[in-house]
Amino acid sequence: MNVLFFAIPIALFLSLVAVFAFVYLVRSGQFDDLETPPRRILFDDIEVSRLKESSKPDSAESESQEGMEDEN
């Protein structure tokens, strides 16, 4: 019976810590994007780096300029 005097406050304290940690993480934005991380595992790093390079506006401009130089 005396154990309950220690166990209940410890359980309440741990649950309050968990609630405060959850609130802090929600406010800091940890749970904003739930879709991208599970899908990121499906792509190879090389493919992702190629996609990032192809989406840069500078590379599109340089490719179009190179194409114009070849035509002349």
Predicted TM-score (pTM) above 0.85: no
Tell me how far CA of residue 14 lies from CA of 10, 11, 24, 28, in angstroms: 6, 5, 15, 21
In the chain, what are the domain boundaries?
1-32, 33-72
In total, the chain counts a number of residues equal to 72
CA dist., res. 2 & res. 9, Å (int): 12
- By the 8 A CB rule, do 36 and 42 touch? no
Tell me how far CA of residue 63 lies from CA of 23, 33, 49, 66, 67, in angstroms: 48, 33, 18, 5, 6
pLDDT at 25 over 80: yes
Mean per-residue pLDDT for 38-53? 70
Say what percent of the chain tops pLDDT 70: 62
